[in-house]
Structure 1
Amino acid sequence: MGGNVRGAGTLPVEMTRFIGRRHELSQARTLLSRGRLVTLTGPGGIGKTRLALRVAAEVQRSFPRGVWLVELAALEDGNRLTQTVAARLRLGNEAIGDPLARLVDHVAGERMLLVLDNCEHVLDASAALVATLLTAAPDLQVLATSRQTLGVAGEQVLPVPSMVLSGNGGPSPELCDAVALFADRAAAMRPDFALTGENTSVIHEICRRLDGVPLAIELAAARLRALSAQEILLRLDDRFTLLTAGSRAALPRQQTLRAAIDWSHDLCTDQERLLWSRLSVFSDGFDLPAAERVCSGDGIRQRDVLDLVIGLVDKSVLAGEERGARMRYWLPDTLRQYGRERLAASGEEQKLRERHRDHYRAVAEQAEAEWFGPDQLAWFTRLRAEHPNLQAALEFSLGEHGQGREAMGLAASMWIHRLGFGSFDEGRQWLGRALAIDEEPSPQRAKALFVDGLLAVLQGDISAADSRVQQFRVLESALGEDPDLIRARVTLAGLVALFQGAFGQAVPLLAEALTRHQAAEDAGNAAVTSFMLSTACPDPDDPAGTVHAERCLALCEAHDAQWSRTHALWVLGLDHYRHGRHRRAGTLVRHALKDKPLSHDQWGVAQCLEVLGWCASSADRAERAATLLGAADATWRVAGSALTGLGHLQAGHQQCEAALRSELGDTAYAAAVEAGGRLTLEQSVAYALEESSAPTPPPPADEASAPLTRRERQVAGLVAQGMTNKEIAAELTISRRTAEGHVEHILTKLGFTSRAQIAAWAARNHGSDAHDSAPTAP
């Protein structure tokens, strides 16, 4: 047996302050209490070693024979692993006898913790040795760090995440673990350094741009010797050049960010390296079919992509999580930039971007073809997840000479995404750019004109929509009388008339469009046109409105189109309201609202809130009705629209408003409308469904304790456009975690609880604090 004394071991003294990681420390201790082998995994620079050493220090009293650290990073040959461990445990002359036998004899019966650091490059030897020692020594425990799991029976794996980037419950959400780490290391470099109101948000953004990776944060902090925080932030696009010159005492791979990633790159096989570079073409994630279609060929067989993806996940290069029925993967931002450099150097970048564009064009076209069916909601979810990739595909097409039609086709195919996602502004901006670079007559241009006109109508921008109708007529004469062109033009002209409130013009146009859709066996557009026709029949003595609404519902149910069915229920409720059946109308509209996926259909939610307000007024619930009208108005704005441009609903709204002002008085009416306008989307829906008895709006923005930063105002503007955190990240060229953090900060500073409130606030403050520097989506 070894002659170790109680408390022996080889843990080094900490030279810098340990920051954060409370949750990971707790998890690691729990895993050690449950099993004998715990492996901390993660990419280079994530802090596996530092975390392992802190865990080992905290539990060392539980190991009478000590905690022993064996550093393997400098070991070049796995054949010398056993001798290295034996020497570290002070077993004397390693030349005497079999080192494995002596090592097994030494640890047998001893209660000790062996910390094996950086196992990844001697993985097979590490796994074999650990398995042998654990079998021979029931009281031995092993804590390993590796970029890849050991694969030993009984192994418990703890992936080490990035440092916490959101608030820790302190006075400011920006005072998180990542910022605390930066500040601590910065103070060591510059004794005069201190966090201030001016530099904290900049440092927070630096940490987010660096994905919360401790090594990168420490290297950035070291640059404060020569640069300001703002200058560091501005240079992060060239982070591999900027983040150099770490501690001279550290291993070479820990002295620069590039060296840390080079180490991971060197651990990969040639095919894994090739796939890594090709995967960098994706924006904020991808699924396996996308990787197979875009990245296979020229050295990678399609059937091998899955194994290569698994290999990159195992080596902590790729991250992944389950999203519904699909796994979704992504390269952390720094690893993606590294891969993009490799891709550019390979000469494959142009080819990969073309494949990427072609794949997402096919995705958009498939979504369009299948939108009116049982997968409707699944397509909305998928298109939202792929929004950054669709943006990248559009941007590539718009930047390529002679690809205007490709861009128009892709942008127009995404109309289902615009309806489900509500991003009308962004859709029109893409379409506008595409239409501007290729003005030659083509079917793609015709479709782009139609979709742009449709989105303009839904925004209430009737003049722009009417302009598209006139352009369509000119284009139609150039292309000849094609049945599809005629029905598109007639449909758009009917919608323009409807939203102007010109029902006499709208009905015959929409009726003609319906006949043409039916002849073409286009059930989806027949349902939409039936919906619009029903809204164009306000006369309670005219049974046509009911006929059209019931046809719409029947088509939706026949095709199991659940999202469209909510609109059909709404229009049937509107028809009942117009016929004086107010109770039945409220029931139908509440059913529609209850079944709506809120994040997919804010425009539809606004419709429901509006008509439920009318129903409440008819039931002598005046204050409730005014509150619902206020909630509806705020939701219209969040959706990028406004009731003032929706002529088919204006008469009903005006009648309801006049009745409420008469009953409540102007002051009480205005107060109730304001209260409704300050509700979150979720609160509005709960109130409308009578799940809450009274609205509980958050405090107004002017009562918030802190103003928004310039970047936060930009993010608020993009939230108002309906963008998700991923889409905001793509728009501003920041990481997804950065976008998430900005949204969290906005919620905290403004006292809000939902994105809908941010959007409504931004809409109210348009042109001032919320949007003074908000970018326009391309």
Structure 2
Amino acid sequence: MTSRQSLGIDAEALLTVPPLSTPNPDRPPPPKAMLRYAAVQLFVERASAVLGEFTLSADDRRAVAGICHRLDGLPLAIELAAARLRVLCPQQLLTVLGDRLDLLNQGSRAAPARQQTLRAAIDCSFNLCTPQEQWGWARLSVFCGGFDLEAAEAVCAGEELAREQVLGVISELLDKSVLTMEMQPGLGRYRMLETIREYGRDLLRLGGEEAAVQRRHRDHYREFAARAEADWFSARQETWSTRLCLERANIRAALEFCLNTPHEVDAGLVLATSLWGNALGAGNLEEERRWFGQALARDTEPTPARARALRVDGWLALLLGDISTAQARSDACQDLAERLGDAESLAHAVQFAGLTALFREDLPAAVRLLEEAFDRHRATTDLWAEWMALFFLALAYCLTGDPRASAMAEQCLALCDAHDARWSRSYALWLLGLQHWLCGDTQRAIPLLQDGLRSARSGRNLLGVAQCLEALAWATAQDGRGEQAAAFLGAAQTAWLSVGIALPSLGRLLHYHSECEARLRGSLGDTAYAAAVKRGTKLTLDQATHYALGEPPTPPTSLRPEHPPTALTRRQRQVIELLAQGMTDKQIAAKLVLSPRTVEGHVYRLLAVLGFDSRTQIATWVVENSAPRQGEHDESDPLCAGRR
């Protein structure tokens, strides 16, 4: 005898039956390989029973993979979906699966009533729950991508369900297979299948609780992000980084609620700016800027939250090479900080003005402003803000040849070591390594950069990895190891792309990159240089890090796909389409209302993504790849990838 719920009796054997395996809907394998997935096998079998014959074709594979993924690999849902092939082709079926509970409402009349529709099957499970479990099911459906006990207690507790009852409700829902549990290091997390979650959201709406529960969800993650920010410069940086990564989907949902609900945008600004420390190394900078752009446009109240948001969005703009937008944000931030008059806003505004000057290569102004910002931050009690001010001032000294640079960089590193802030430590080591390289001491620079790379890898700090690989290429080239340096440049390209920023965006550093490239082309020749760079670009970040640290001594032969799976952004797709029309950077900038420098950064990244050396190659490639066969969107086509 089997049951969907644990009976809690002696001699009972518990076996978790997971959903059927499904292929990646964004990169489905060829049809024959698709049939290795149990969900696809079931879909094809049921489709054949419905139609008399059904063969999975190349035209259908993406749609079928998407259907199986949307239905969570649930056998009943897949059977009911296949039955709809009487009136819909797979592509149409995928399109209309948004409300899967209502669509999958007809099954075999010979089956028991609870198995005739997907909603009836879930109704049966729901009716087995106590009222408290039903309330818990509905409220837990507000989470995206999983949640932990702390979050569940904060969001679920309320009328009909006390905080101390939440753990018991979760336990019962686990026993009834409404929830599943997944273990992370030191943390248990729970998850609902999307179909079960959709059913719960319907209950939440019908009960009139949706807005209230969403607000509690938002409040929890706003407080969670604030704690991460307050505790960021500590030995828990890597722990916070991991937890913020796990909660990315929930944070995104909380931001969407703030932006789409009247009078909630200010709370969204607070949440978004609290993620500042983690956002730089975690990537997704284009997404971060979208959040800030929408929030700043919708809430123009002169608050400290807006001042912080202007500063953070401007800093992201600098990293993405959009100097004009950054300057506008800096001016607005300075004006608002002076109106607010509080010391913290003024200190950050002055620091941001100094950074903007640094990126504009107005080095005297940058040094003057960053010195003022450092003095202002030392008067506050914000240790992380003081460290950042110290770091940026040390970088300005380093780039201007100021003799104080080494001591300041050493101070940065010492502060990280004193607080065991490993994420920040990778930046301090990069800075110290850069300073020694600029002084011509590669014997000291290379070990420091390797140590920085090691720290960045352990904390999954993508920006730190990119910076250290890039500087290692410069130092290795100066040391006479040309092929290895070129491979490092290629690996750094991949790392920069994983962050999503121009390579590298600070003008003086980009100058060092160009000098290194010219040196290597001169010593190796164009052909050997291009081959070595390509070898580096085809390494994964993990392989590149092992290679740079001497483990193994030569690059592995395992290569990345010819075209990276990373989807292009909407802006990159616009640029690539205009490139294919033969437009210059200036013409593209005028067409898209961007600065020529921003367009140049986009083109540079597109060249790196596609592994090309010229704009003509991009244009030719677009023409050759922009007309896939009807019904098939190959994942090697970045224009199709961007539409997913």
TM-score by length of 1: 0.72
Q: Which of 1 and 2 has greater Rg?
A: 1
Query: Is 1:147 paired with 2:7?
Result: no
Q: Give the distance between the partners of 1:172 and 1:606, measured in 2 at CA.
A: 38
**What residue number does 2:615 align with?**
none
Q: CA offsets per residue over residues 70-120 of structure 1, 9 Å max, x none?
A: xxxxxxxxxxxxxxxxxxxxxxxxxxxxxxxxxxxxxxxxxxxxxx2xxxx
Q: Give the distance between the partners of 1:492 and 1:540, measured in 2 at CA.
A: 18
**What residue number does 1:393 align with?**
254
**What residue number does 2:631 align with?**
none
Question: 1:178-189 alignment to 2 at 5 Å?
Answer: 178-189=39-50
**What residue number does 2:600 align with?**
none
**What residue number does 1:547 align with?**
407
Partner SS state of residue 374, structure 1:
coil
Q: Is residue 255–residue 268 contact of structure 2 (8 Å, CA) maintained in 1?
A: yes
**What residue number does 1:616 align with?**
476
Segment drifting more, 390-399 vs 494-503:
494-503
Question: How far apart are residue 720 of structure 1 and its match?
Answer: 13
Partner SS state of residue 194, structure 1:
coil
**What residue number does 1:638 align with?**
498
Matching residue's letter, 1:455: L
Q: Give the distance between the partners of 1:169 and 1:396, measured in 2 at CA.
A: 36
Question: How far apart are residue 699 of structure 1 and its match?
Answer: 5.9
More helix as a share of residues: 2
**What residue number does 1:772 align with?**
639
Partner SS state of residue 690, structure 1:
coil
Question: How far apart are residue 329 of structure 1 and its match?
Answer: 0.5
Given candidates 374, 379, 383, the residue that maps to 1:514 is 374
Partner SS state of residue 57, structure 2:
coil
**What residue number does 1:156 align with?**
13
Partner SS state of residue 146, structure 1:
coil
**What residue number does 2:55 align with?**
194
Q: Is residue 211–residue 333 contact of structure 1 (8 Å, CA) maintained in 2?
A: yes
Segment drifting more, 623-632 vs 535-544:
535-544
Question: How far apart are residue 162 of structure 1 and its match?
Answer: 0.8
Question: How far apart are residue 458 of structure 1 and its match?
Answer: 2.2
Question: How far apart are residue 545 of structure 1 and its match?
Answer: 0.6
Question: How far apart are residue 542 of structure 1 and its match?
Answer: 3.5
Given candidates 329, 332, 348, the residue that maps to 1:471 is 332
Distance 1:228 1:283, change over 3 A: same
Consecutive unaligned residues in structure 1, runs of 5 or more:
1-115, 117-144, 722-756
Question: How far apart are residue 352 of structure 1 and its match?
Answer: 0.7
**What residue number does 1:485 align with?**
345
Matching residue's letter, 2:372: E
**What residue number does 2:310 align with?**
449
Question: 1:166-565 alignment to 2 at 5 Å?
Answer: 166=23, 172-175=32-35, 176-477=37-338, 479-538=339-398, 542-565=402-425
Matching residue's letter, 1:298: E
Question: How far apart are residue 541 of structure 1 and its match?
Answer: 6.4
Distance 1:241 1:760, change over 3 A: farther
Q: Give the distance between the partners of 1:423 and 1:759, measured in 2 at CA.
A: 19
Consecutive unaligned residues in structure 2, runs of 5 or more:
573-604, 613-617, 627-635
Matching residue's letter, 2:236: D
Question: How far apart are residue 324 of structure 1 and its match?
Answer: 1.6
Question: How far apart are residue 249 of structure 1 and its match?
Answer: 2.0
Q: Give the distance between the partners of 1:494 and 1:282, measured in 2 at CA.
A: 40
Query: Is 1:716 paired with 2:583?
Result: no
Q: Give the distance between the partners of 1:279 and 1:453, measured in 2 at CA.
A: 36
Q: Is residue 535–residue 648 contact of structure 1 (8 Å, CA) maintained in 2?
A: no
Q: Give the distance between the partners of 1:345 and 1:546, measured in 2 at CA.
A: 64
Matching residue's letter, 1:607: Q
Matching residue's letter, 2:23: S
Q: CA offsets per residue over residues 557-614 of structure 1, 9 Å max, x none?
A: 1222111112111211112212222111111111111122367322111111111112
Q: Is residue 762–residue 771 contact of structure 1 (8 Å, CA) maintained in 2?
A: no
Question: How far apart are residue 224 of structure 1 and its match?
Answer: 1.3
Segment drifting more, 164-173 vs 633-642:
164-173
Q: Give the distance between the partners of 1:365 and 1:701, measured in 2 at CA.
A: 39
Distance 1:388 1:156, change over 3 A: same
Identity of aligned residues (%): 46
Q: Is residue 556–residue 562 contact of structure 1 (8 Å, CA) maintained in 2?
A: yes
Q: Give the distance between the partners of 2:299 and 2:399, measured in 1 at CA.
A: 44
Matching residue's letter, 1:549: A
Question: How far apart are residue 200 of structure 1 and its match?
Answer: 2.4
**What residue number does 1:578 align with?**
438
Q: Is residue 453–residue 466 contact of structure 1 (8 Å, CA) maintained in 2?
A: yes
Matching residue's letter, 1:654: S
Q: Give the distance between the partners of 1:776 and 1:461, measured in 2 at CA.
A: 24
Q: Give the distance between the partners of 1:567 and 1:210, measured in 2 at CA.
A: 43
**What residue number does 2:580 align with?**
none
Question: How far apart are residue 656 of structure 1 and its match?
Answer: 2.4
Question: How far apart are residue 355 of structure 1 and its match?
Answer: 0.9
Segment drifting more, 299-308 vs 481-490:
481-490
Question: 1:63-82 alignment to 2 at 5 Å?
Answer: none
Q: Give the distance between the partners of 2:570 and 2:72, measured in 1 at CA.
A: 22
Q: Is residue 457–residue 465 contact of structure 2 (8 Å, CA) maintained in 1?
A: no
Query: Is 1:660 paired with 2:517?
Result: no
Segment drifting more, 454-463 vs 277-286:
454-463
Partner SS state of residue 320, structure 1:
strand
Given candidates 574, 583, 606, the residue that maps to 2:466 is 606
Question: How far apart are residue 422 of structure 1 and its match?
Answer: 1.7
Q: Give the distance between the partners of 1:651 and 1:232, measured in 2 at CA.
A: 52
Q: Give the distance between the partners of 2:287 and 2:132, measured in 1 at CA.
A: 38
Question: How far apart are residue 775 of structure 1 and its match?
Answer: 5.4
Partner SS state of residue 597, structure 1:
helix
Question: How far apart are residue 379 of structure 1 and its match?
Answer: 0.8
Q: Is residue 238–residue 459 contact of structure 2 (8 Å, CA) maintained in 1?
A: no
Q: Give the distance between the partners of 1:759 and 1:350, measured in 2 at CA.
A: 45
Distance 1:540 1:387, change over 3 A: closer
Question: How far apart are residue 501 of structure 1 and its match?
Answer: 3.1
Q: Is residue 638–residue 760 contact of structure 1 (8 Å, CA) maintained in 2?
A: no
Q: Give the distance between the partners of 2:135 and 2:606, measured in 1 at CA.
A: 42
Q: Is residue 31–residue 61 contact of structure 2 (8 Å, CA) maintained in 1?
A: no
Segment drifting more, 428-437 vs 168-177:
168-177
Matching residue's letter, 1:716: A
Distance 1:638 1:283, change over 3 A: same
Question: How far apart are residue 148 of structure 1 and its match?
Answer: 1.4
Question: How far apart are residue 191 of structure 1 and its match?
Answer: 1.1
Distance 1:560 1:598, change over 3 A: closer
Output the aligned Cα RMSD: 2.7
Partner SS state of residue 84, structure 2:
helix
Give aligned pairs, total: 589
Distance 1:407 1:632, change over 3 A: same
Q: Give the distance between the partners of 1:717 and 1:374, measured in 2 at CA.
A: 35
Q: CA offsets per residue over residues 703-741 of structure 1, 9 Å max, x none?
A: x8xxx9xxxx7x6347999xxxxxxxxxxxxxxxxxxxx
Question: How far apart are residue 540 of structure 1 and its match?
Answer: 9.0
Given candidates 462, 481, 488, the residue that maps to 1:628 is 488
Q: Give the distance between the partners of 2:533 and 2:248, measured in 1 at CA.
A: 34
**What residue number does 1:736 align with?**
none
Q: Is residue 534–residue 611 contact of structure 2 (8 Å, CA) maintained in 1?
A: no
Q: CA offsets per residue over residues 245-292 of structure 1, 9 Å max, x none?
A: 322221111111111111111111110011001111111211111111
Q: Is residue 537–residue 544 contact of structure 1 (8 Å, CA) maintained in 2?
A: yes
Partner SS state of residue 15, structure 2:
strand
Q: Give the distance between the partners of 2:606 and 2:250, measured in 1 at CA.
A: 25
TM-score by length of 2: 0.86
Segment drifting more, 459-468 vs 346-355:
459-468
Q: Is residue 285–residue 316 contact of structure 2 (8 Å, CA) maintained in 1?
A: yes
